[in-house]
Structures are given as C-alpha cells and as structure tokens.
Chains A and B, each alone.
Chain A
Amino acid sequence: MSAYEISIISIIGINVILAVSLNMISGFCGQISLGHGAFFGAGAYAAALTMVGCGSVPLAIVAALITGSILGVIVGFASLRVRTDFLAVTTIGVNFLFVGFVRKQAWLGGEMGISGIPATGLGAAGNMTMILLFAAATIALSLYISRSWMGFAFRAVGQDEGAAATLGINSGAYKLAAFGIGTALAGLAGGLYAFFTQFITADAFDFIFSVMLMAMVVIGGIGSTWGVVVAAAGLTLLPEAIRFVNDYRLLVFGGLLVLVIRLAPGGLAAMFQNVFLRTRKP
C-alpha cells in the first residue's frame, strides 16, 4: 500500500468515528450539535500533550476520551436548559470559543499549534490498523446502542421529551449520556488524528469541519449507522477524487446538505431502503 493510500484510509477511519459519534447525539437523541469539531480538537490536544509529556499511547488515548467527554457533558448540561434549535447555536458558539481559546494559549502552542508529537512507534500502517480497529469498535457500539433500550429511549427523547417523561424516561439523563458517549468518541478520534499527523493546529477543528461532519450525518441518513459510515467514507474521498470539490469544499458540502434536506430527508439510508423494498415487491 502506498503512503498516500494509507493516509487516506486513516482519515476515512477518523471521519467515520466522528460522523458515527455525532450521529449518536444528533441522530439517535435528536440534539443538534454543530460543534463536534471542538470535542475532536479537545481530544487531539489532550493526546498531543500526553504524548509530548510521557509518550504513552494508551494514556494519550484515555486522556483524549476523557477530555472529549468532560467538555461534552458540560455542553450537554446546556442542552438541558435550551430548546433544540437554540442548542445548535450554542454548540456553534462552543466551537468558535474553542478555536479562539486554543489560538491564544501559549501552552497549547498558540497559532503555531503543537508540532513534533512523538510517534506511536507503530508506523504508518500500524497507526492505520489501530484507527480502523477503533472505527470498527465505534460502529459496533453504535449498532449495539441503537438496538438497546438506550437507543429506544434516545429516539423517544429526540421526538418528544414531554411524552417521554410520561413514560418515566428522564430526558436530561439520556441527553447527558448521548453527549458523554458521542463526545468521548470524538475525543478518541482527536487522539488518533494527533498520532496520525504528529502536528496539530486549532484550524483543523473549526466550525467548517463541524458542518462537514453534520453533512455526513444528514447525507448518510440521520440515525442510520451504516448510512453515516458510507457517507463519511464517500465525502472524505470526494475531494480527493475531484479537484473542484476540494477547491469548493464548503460550497459542495453545504449544497449537498441543503439538497438532501429538501429532496430526501432520510438520506442515503432511506433511498437505499426504498430501492430495496421496491425491488422486493412484485
């Protein structure tokens, strides 16, 4: 495998973890978050500092998971206080705050970011394998949650919190759980990203990246794990395959997002299901 292929596959793995974890928050539990990049970044910085400090890969992964989810639970508390549409605005704010804050912090490398992050010692192919294993684990967790009573309760909370409460479901606890799990995984993706690039700056975690992640979720089909996996892989490859898409990334993803919402709100998952059902019927 060429170095280029390894790097593309690694990025796909990281984006799959990010999109699938965002889908847990926004797809399963209905809490629109447009700041997933911030939790990704928090994990990346936590892992980078741990690697620079002690060079331990397992510790760096744990630090990334915990940092992502602590920040996530804090933002989750905001979701208990505000209406869903306002939550979207709040999370955008969190993303801008994160990037603005990191840029001004000398201990986080400021504008220059953190470079020279020690290598994991696994080599590029080893890193890629690790990323793919974590991506597979994330997909498995997502499929499991969706089938469990937790996923069931998430859907209820996402559709109507008041009605969920009359069935004895404490919406607040479930929203915090969704944020806690989803952002821990975003933190994990950040850690893997730091291992992969060995160099991070705040710009990699900006709001535009968060919008791209949301585009993956919506285009894949809100709530559908496999749809989101396919969309994450496809939307990562698209800019590589087509030069134009790379140059007009925001325009293309934004356009696709609007098109899907207008024409096929169920995304790829619903389209696939329709085709499948139609061909099965006589």
Chain B
Amino acid sequence: MSAVLQLDGVAIRFGGVQAIAGVSFAVEKGDFVGLIGPNGAGKTTLIRIIAGLLRPDAGRVRLSGVDVTGDATAARVRRGLALTHQIVRPFREMTVLDNVVLGAGYRYTSNPFRALLHLDRRREKERAAQILAQVGLGGTEGKLAGSLPLGQMKRLEVARALAVDPEVILLDEPLAGLNHTEASKQVETIAEVHARGITVVLVEHNLEEVMRICRRLIVLNNGQVIGDGEPRAVMADPAVHDAYVGAGMVGHAEA
C-alpha cells in the first residue's frame, strides 16, 4: 500500500453534535491535499483525530499501513507524522533555536533512559539552524520564542514540525492571522516542504491560496466528505458550491 495516511469510517460525537460522521479517505505518498469546508465543518476535529489528540468513537487511522488508532500523539510523531497547531504553541521560555533543536533530537528523546545517556547537541543545533533558515527565521535563533511576533511564531511551528523528519505534515490554518506578505512567504515555505517529498495535508480558509498550491481537495461539511478530487473539478461541483453558499463561505473566502 502506498497510502501514507488512511482513514476508515472515522466518527466522533461531542454531546449532541456529530462533529465527524464517518470519514474515509487515503492520502498517497507525496500528495498535497487541501482539507477545506465551512466553519464548524469538522476540519480541526479531523486533524486532531489523525494526530491522536482526540480518540474517535469509531473508525481507524493508519499511517503507512500501520494502525495507530490506539496510539498517543508522541508515538504517531515517531511514525512520521508532524503537525502545526491552529493556535501556536511554542515553548515560550526557550530560545527559537532550542524549540527546533528539541524536535531535531527526537531520536534521543524516544524514552527518558535513552535521553539520560546523551549530552551532545552539536549536530541537532546545526540541523535546527538549517531548518530555521529554510523557513525564513534565520537570525532569530537566540531570541526567546515567546517574544516573536505572530507571523514568525507560525513559521516556528512549521520549523518544529520539519525537525522531526516527517513523512506527512498536517498544517491547521498556517496562514490565519498573517498579513499578505507573511502569508505568501509561508505558502512558499510550504511549497518547498512538499517539493522535498513530504506529504502535506493543509487546512486553510484562504481558498485562493488553496486552489493555487493543492493538488487534491477534500471538502468537509457537517462532518462528512462532500467532495474529493482535482481542485477545479471539486469546486465546480454544485454540492460543494451549495455547502459554501449555505454557510456564507464564498464571501469569507473572497474577503
């Protein structure tokens, strides 16, 4: 099987809300998937289920064919998954460099005993500095992560995700809150990440950017997949169009 990520009948309910109602799809290695849908469609919930931050009521999640439904987030990361949070969460009291070094040392931190036996960080520091330069954060290495402006924190999230050498990267609204220049820089970075062979799943409201960079679109509405395929074909589908108009999303996307 060449699917790096596969969902089978995933469902979760919060009280009275069926947030995800039986979602199945497979993402092939090297693909660039846009996960879109109106507000409250269940995109973040689905990302959180894939990442292991939420347990689904039903269904399975597989990474490169391995069932990880019962695994915690850290274990999934070690199977090649990386994610950025919709709301940024750097280690505020660490330097920007250390935030990335910690990710780059994931081989040492697999368990506390192993971590105790290793001191040297030189290689991880070099690697982290490279990644920071790549996402456009060169020169900020020594700053406290908590002191960065939002645009840079969003890039730090991407840098940390790259540090764990992922096969699949889940990006939850990496452009939200960024101004036009920052956003286009961030898009460039994401395109470079994909060019390096990393599979990307991107949740984003900015449809213009999504149409530009994604190779496949999956549209969620009320916790169900209502469209899946080539971006232009999907957007031309009346069912998709109705869902967006119904939720007033066309205006949002064009804003």
A159 in contact with B73 given A147-B119, A168-B164 (CB within 8 Å): no
A173 touches B82 (CB 8 A): no
B74 within 8 A of A: yes
Across the interface, do A149 and B109 meet the contact criterion of CB distance under 8 Å?
yes
Q: Is A189 an interface residue (CB 8 A)?
A: no
Residues of chain A within 8 A of B109, CB atoms compared: 149, 152-153, 167-169
**Cβ–Cβ contact A152 & B77, under 8 A:** no
Q: Which residues of B contact A166 (CB under 8 A)?
A: 51, 73, 77, 82-83, 85, 89, 160-161
Specify which of A149, A160, A165 is in contact with B115 (CB 8 Å cutoff).
Answer: A149
With A159-B93, A167-B160, A170-B72 already in contact, the answer to whether A153 and B77 are too (CB < 8 A) is: no
Given A144, A147, A148, A168, which contacts B74 in the complex, CB threshold below 8 Å? A168
A75 at the interface (CB under 8 A from B): no
Chain A CB within 8 A of B92 CB: yes
**Using a CB-CB cutoff of 8 Å, which residues 141-162 of chain A contact chain B?**
144-145, 147-150, 152-153, 155-156, 159-160, 162
Which B residues from 69 to 124 make CB contacts under 8 A with A?
72-75, 77-78, 82-83, 85, 89-94, 98, 101-103, 105-106, 108-119, 121
Residues of A contacting B164 with CB < 8 Å? Answer: 167-168
Which residues from A are CB-within-8-Å of B61? Answer: none
Interface string of B11-31 (1 = CB under 8 A from A): 000000000000000000000
Chain B residue, CB-CB nearest to A168: B77
CB of A96 closer than 8 Å to a CB of B = no
Q: Please report which residues of chain A, range 162-191, place their CB below 8 angstroms from some CB of chain B when the two chains form the complex.
A: 162-171, 173-174, 176-177
Q: Which residues of B contact A171 (CB under 8 A)?
A: 74
Q: Are B110 and A160 in contact (CB under 8 A)?
A: no
Which residue of chain B is the closest to A170 with respect to CB atoms?
Answer: B74
Q: Given known contacts A148-B116, A156-B102, A165-B77, is B91 in contact with A170 (CB within 8 Å)?
A: no
Q: Add 16 more A-B contacts to A162-B53, A166-B73, A167-B106 (CB < 8 A).
A: A144-B119, A148-B119, A149-B114, A149-B115, A149-B116, A152-B109, A159-B94, A160-B89, A164-B74, A165-B74, A167-B102, A167-B164, A169-B74, A170-B75, A170-B111, A177-B116
User: Which residues of A pack against B, CB within 8 Å?
Assistant: 144-145, 147-150, 152-153, 155-156, 159-160, 162-171, 173-174, 176-177
A-B contact pairs, 7 of them (CB 8 A): A153-B112, A163-B89, A167-B160, A167-B164, A169-B74, A174-B115, A177-B112
